[in-house]
Chains A and B, each alone.
Chain A
Amino acid sequence: MAGKKPNVSKEELLEYYREMLLIRRFEEKAGQLYGMGLIGGFCHLYIGQEAVVVGLEANAKEGDERITSYRDHGHMLACGMDPKGVMAELTGREGGYSRGKGGSMHMFSKEKEFYGGNGIVGAQVPIGAGLAFANKYRGNDNVSFTYFGDGAANQGQVYETFNMAALWKLPVVFVIENNHYAMGTAQERSTSTPAIYTRGEAFEIPGEAVDGMDVLAVRDAGAKAVAHCRAGKGPYILEMNTYRYRGHSMSDPAKYRTREEVQKVKEEHDAIDHVREMLLTGKHASEDDLKAIDKEIKAIVSEAAQFATDSPEPDVSELWTDVYA
């Protein structure tokens, strides 16, 4: 990359910065609300991995679907879901996307084509291919972004899905967010071959390893994958090399890795710092401009937290609704 001028406009770069920052601040706030007992159950934060979803969303168009695992807050914010509705779902309130009935791991937006939020590791992979199947069945050129982690990459249903997606040339981008830990198990302790992106080779699905901490690298790899899918050439695998700063969930002390390891990534590879650096050195923004953005994001997040705290618990009648359509 040295010396090469990145192919990105000032507006785009600012947009990525804004979106990544929103995810990070939102997640920090969620962590805080969890600590205060306002959020219950499992809560998996996306801090550190922001560039993945923001870079990929830059390639999405109207009608494209996305689906992911339980670590889903970032994906929802990146596809344009309202932070207030997401946060209120975390607090289990009426104003949440699922009216308090899904929680952190199970949130959806038909409007934004966000299909969850899936609590079962790997289950989103065939479902994501099914969304792609529907696109092909209907003859449109939409693409399904199907996200899963390095842990899910060892699930059998992933390979059943690779087989069918390749066989039927389904327009699905399989995005493997490799944060190197399947909960507390390091990748080398759970995975026989480290290069997960090559796992499609047996099915003739092209795959690529991508620096998932670099939003532009993600975006560009995504563009290639999406073009492949839209052209009717079938699925594409992108393995995003990324890192989560927090524990697996809020209740994870993360004893399986050293504090130094985490610190090193934060200092040397932080995705947001990277964009911030580009903005400043490219003279696209001043420190003051960025401070103004920070302030704006903080306000959005505070408003979301306030909404999520003020919104009432669901009416007791909600217990019995939405079992059947």
Chain B
Amino acid sequence: MAIQILMPALSPTMEEGTLAKWLVKEGDTVSSGDIIAEIETDKATMEFEAADEGVIGKLLVAEGTEGVKVNDPIAVLLEDGEDASAADSAPAAPAPATETPEAVAAAPVAVTVPDDPELPEGTTFKSMTVREALREAMSEEMRASDDVFLMGEEVAQYQGAYKISQGMLDEFGERRVIDTPITEHGFTGLAVGAAFAGLRPVVEFMTFNFALQAIDHIINSAAKTLYMSGGQMNCPIVFRGANGAAARVAAQHSHDFAAMYAQVPGLKVVMPYSAADAKGLLKSAIRDPNPVVFLENEILYGRSFDVPEIEDFTVPIGKAKIWREGSDVTIVSFGIGMQYALEAADRLAGEGISAEVVDLRSLRPMDTETVIRSVQKTNRCVTVEEGFPVGSIGNHISAVLMEQAFDYLDAPVINCTGKDVPMPYAANLEKLALVTTDEVIAAVKSVTYR
């Protein structure tokens, strides 16, 4: 019986892709293992192999089609003896044994970048992914100063494990875009030494999970030396990479380190949500004379946002941003947590609850003033993050509000966080382990006594 060939998922976070090229045509005989198409994901162009043998009965999706959803039929394979007419009635190929995960991170509903009073009037915007924004930030800073260089695993010839540095080797050459061996401890220490000597390294960790191997140098070497040297020796370095859960990569690849790094004096810690903030904050981080831990998120890499078209656009470290004004409750979040916060705010608006959403953007220094001012207006606060609950950023915000805005609070602050368990692999458990929009909505209803 004819079977449908489906658009494959070729990375943990892929939801759709481009059918870049067919390598077979209708009527061709294929065996399992034959490469039949090239498919472009958000990260790379991948070859796609046939899993069964037969004759290509029909190509359902034309070459060059963008936005083909994972699991959409793209071709029909005929078995021995079948003719092309069978192609029309082909059932889908058997579904994968496990339930196909729903996209872990649903696209936020109607996210529009709020007006930024600090942007000049008449500023135009360009839609750009977080990935492109990060690349632009690094490239612009590298053009501006020869002291800036990028170092990490697969950043050069492979064009970046998550394609953040795509094209940068071509532009800057191997002196400044440097592939390292897989030795986080060693290359992080080495980059710290280069920073002590006055260069401005950008160290890419493929993910921050692997930076645990290097955390001694991030904390003991980079963060503390300025103080220990009585102000003589600063360490202008950026540690950046994907942080937190991606999708279905389980406990050792899904840890949100925001609260851990935010605890360390001497480090600056930023965790942007939008592409504009990713770009502006990364440029600020590269120029900063201090070590900056720059926490990205794999799921956000492919998201598009409006980025101001301003020459040399930067965002100051240590300044929160009010994404959405409201009067009934303040929802404080950062990084990917913002998508739950914004989605919750949208749904709550439908129920007549007006939520103000504050994106911290920087975790150290943290703009608690903006949070306090907002809570003075709304008298209620819910925090949202994907990290573990104990010693979380939300815990800190709660403490600050208790100490500095106690009289303004009409309800206890509720912290919505990831669950207190290592990240499970199973799709349903993973969803439960992460913070959810429903939890944020429930928390808001609780603090607003609805």
Point out residues on A near B: beta carbons under 8 Å. 65, 67, 96-102, 106-110, 115-120, 123, 125-135, 137, 144, 156-157, 160-161, 163-164, 167, 321-325
**Residue of A65, A116, A128 touching B229 (CB-CB under 8 A):** A116
The number of A-B residue pairs with CB atoms under 8 Å apart is 145
Q: Which residues of B contact A115 (CB under 8 A)?
A: 193, 196, 233
* Residue among B149, B185, B191, B232 making CB contact with A98, cutoff 8 Å: B232
Chain B proximity of A241: nearest CB distance (Å): 27
Supposing A130-B196, A163-B183 touch, asked if A323 and B226 sit within 8 A by C-beta, the answer is yes
B302 at the interface (CB under 8 A from A): no
For the A-B complex with A97-B229, A137-B149 known, give 13 more contacts whose Cβ atoms are closer than 8 Å.
A65-B197, A102-B229, A108-B225, A108-B228, A108-B229, A108-B233, A123-B217, A131-B194, A133-B197, A137-B199, A161-B189, A322-B227, A323-B265
B226: chain A residues within 8 A (beta carbon): 322-325
Question: Are A130 and B175 in contact, with the CB atoms below 8 A?
Answer: no
Interface string of B159-191 (1 = CB under 8 A from A): 000000000000000010000110101111111
Given contacts A157-B186, A163-B181, contact A119 B197 (CB under 8 A): no
Chain A residues with Cβ below 8 Å from B350 are: none
Contact A163 B266 (CB under 8 A): no
Give a binary string over B255-286; 1 marks a CB under 8 Å from any A CB, 0 the rest: 00000000001101000000000000000000
Q: Are B197 and A157 in contact (CB under 8 A)?
A: no
Counting chain B residues whose Cβ lies within 8 A of the other chain, the interface size class is 35 or more
**A135, B181: Cα distance in complex, Å:** 20
Inter-chain contact A157/B189, CB cutoff 8 Å? yes
B190 touches A126 (CB 8 A): yes
Known A119-B220, A324-B268: A127·B227 in contact at CB below 8 Å: no
Most buried by A among B193, B197, B225: B193
A sample of 22 inter-chain contacts (CB < 8 A) reads A65-B197, A97-B232, A106-B229, A108-B228, A108-B230, A115-B193, A119-B220, A126-B185, A126-B187, A127-B221, A131-B196, A133-B190, A137-B199, A160-B183, A160-B185, A163-B186, A164-B180, A164-B183, A324-B226, A324-B266, A324-B289, A325-B236
Q: Decide if B185 touches A106 in the complex (CB within 8 Å).
A: no
Q: Is the CB of A102 within 8 A of B228?
A: yes
B220 touching A130, Cβ below 8 Å: no
Q: What per-residue 1/0 map shows which CB atoms of B229-240 lie under 8 Å from chain A?
A: 111111010000
When chains A and B are docked, how far (Å) is the Cα of A108 from the Cα of B227? 11
A68 CB to closest chain B CB (Å) equals 13
Interface centre among A98, A116, A126, A321 (most CB of B within 10 A): A126
